[in-house]
Every structure is written in structure tokens, then in C-alpha cells.
Amino acid sequence: MPDIVRSISGVRVLEELSRRESPVHRRHPFAKLAVTLAFLVAVAAGPRRELVGLLPFALYPFLTASLAEVPARPLLERLLLAAPIVVGIGALNPLFDREAVALGGITVPGGWLVFASLALRCALTVSAALLLVATTRMEELGGSMRALGFPRVLVLQLLLTYRYIALLLEELATSLRAHALRAPGRRGIGREARGSLPGRLLLRSYDRGRRVYDAMRLRGFDGEYRSGAKRRFGAGDLGYVLGWCGFFLACRLVDLPGALGALAMGLPTR
């Protein structure tokens, strides 16, 4: 039961963070969404064995988290959830890609380099997506997605899933609490309840969803998720987009780590 309660509170952490006030929170949702999409494209566009060239991109999530005062723990906990996927995808690369690659004066197998690059890309992209949610209310983010041309059904499903996933967890917690009261002292779920308990959870969730939908219809829901008054896209938001996109473009066109290393050693830069 404590795990379910922790999961419910964990779902609401990012929503609570998105309601704070900071220079990043005050930026227009469209600007933050556009910068995040540009960041994802820029990080994913490099060579598959790229590692050092990805390091300058870490400035964006680090600076954003610092300005928005987003604590590191919620981000790290959710990064760990994505780690098994990365390990599962990249674990076979060292077995099949044994080509030797020179890196910083040493020779390493190419498969390990691909694996490290994939892990770093995952950390950067997942962090950027989490920071977008942690600094932007989901309703405003949905409106920005619609403005960019995302399908209405996709945006609506995303918003409703994010909004009501906590209700499903609450129904699960209620069912587990009822089972614990009827079977005191038993650890886990007995074999006789493993079929009926999920069935009751499905029926309770369906009934809860129907009541939520009826309430939405009574309030005028017509298939479009509206978030209320729209914010004005100002000059500061445009500068935010152009500044970060220019930085991402510079990271792709210029060898920033090499230039900084040569500058530190007093060597001429190319």
C-alpha cells in the first residue's frame, strides 16, 4: 500500500512543480515546446558513435533546471525508469560492433561507444521532456501542441491520461485496501483473488471514467480540450526560442569541446 500512495504522489510532483514561478515558468508554453523539440532533434541528429560532441547540450537541461529551481531527485527517479529501456536496446551493441575506435588517445570497441552515446542521448532527451512538463502546465502544453499541428485525438488522449492516471491509481489503492481488510496478515494477493481483483478494478475504473465523461459533457465538452485564456507570445519568448535554437545549431556546426580545449591550451582554433 505505501508503494501505491508513493506512486500517486509521484504522479502529482511534476504538476506541482509546473505551478511555481520562475523565469522559465513565465516563458510562453509554445516557446518552451518549440525549444524542447529543437533540442530533441539536435541531440538525435548526430553520429551514432558521438559522445564528446553531446556534452555541450547538457547546458540546456542544467541551466533550465537551475533557473526553474526544479529539484534533481524527481528528475533522477524518472530517468532511472527509462534506464532499463536503454540498457535493453544498447546492450547488444558491444557484442556485434567490435570495430576499434580511437577516442582521446585510447582505442575502445565501437559497440561500447554506441552504448555510451545512446545512454547520454537518453539522459539528455528524457531530462528535457521532464523539464518541459515540470515548467509548463499540461493544459497550456496541450494548447501549444495543437498550435503546432499535432492531431486533436493524440493531444486529447495525452491530456486525459496525464490528468486521470492518478484516479486509476486511487482505484487500485482502494481495491488493495479492501483486499487487505478481508485477508488480514496475508502478504500479497492470494491465488483465488488474482482473477477477480483485476476484473473489479477494470469495472470500477470504467464506471469512474464514465462519470468523469458525463461531468465533462455537462460542462460543455465537445471533443476539444480548452485551457482558458491564451497567453501573449512576446519578444522575450521569441528571444528565448532564437537564443536556444542558435546554441543548438552552434553545437552541431562547431566543435565546441575541441575549441574550448584548444583555447585552454593556448593552441590555434580551426
Give the pLDDT confidence of 217-250 residue by residue, as tens digits: 888 777 666 665 577 888 899 999 999 999 999 9
What CA–CA distance (Å, rounded) separates 114 from 96? 11
What was the pLDDT predicted at 199? Answer: 77
What was the pLDDT predicted at 248? Answer: 93
Q: 34 with 156, same domain?
A: no
What was the pLDDT predicted at 242? Answer: 95
Q: 119 with 245, same domain?
A: yes
Q: 244 with 111, same domain?
A: yes
What was the pLDDT predicted at 137? Answer: 85
Q: 204 with 255, same domain?
A: no
What was the pLDDT predicted at 82? Answer: 76
Residues of the chain with pLDDT under 70: 1-11, 90, 92, 94-111, 179, 183-195, 223-229, 256-270
Bridge-based pairing state of the strands 106-109 and 100-103: antiparallel
What was the pLDDT predicted at 13? Answer: 80
Find the DSSP H helices in 69-195. 72-90, 93-96, 110-135, 138-147, 152-182
Range of the domain at 216: 151-225
What was the pLDDT predicted at 36? Answer: 94
Cell numbers 488474482: residue: 194
The residues near 204 (Cβ < 8 Å, ≥ 6 apart) are: 171, 174, 175
Length reported for the chain: 270
What was the pLDDT predicted at 180? Answer: 72
Task: Compute CA distances 44 → 80, 109, 111, 118, 149, whole Å.
Answer: 20, 21, 18, 9, 22
Q: 87 with 13, same domain?
A: yes
Q: 219 with 252, same domain?
A: no
CA 99 to chain centre: 33
Q: 125 with 33, same domain?
A: yes
Q: 8 with 106, same domain?
A: yes
- Report whether 72 contacts 134 (CB < 8 A): no
What was the pLDDT predicted at 194? Answer: 65
Q: 59 with 189, same domain?
A: no
Q: 89 with 105, same domain?
A: yes
Last residue of a domain, one of 205, 225, 245: 225
Task: Count the neighbouring beta carbons within 10 Å of the beta carbon of residue 222.
Answer: 7
Q: 80 with 112, same domain?
A: yes
Q: 85 with 189, same domain?
A: no
Query: What domain count does the chain have?
Result: 2
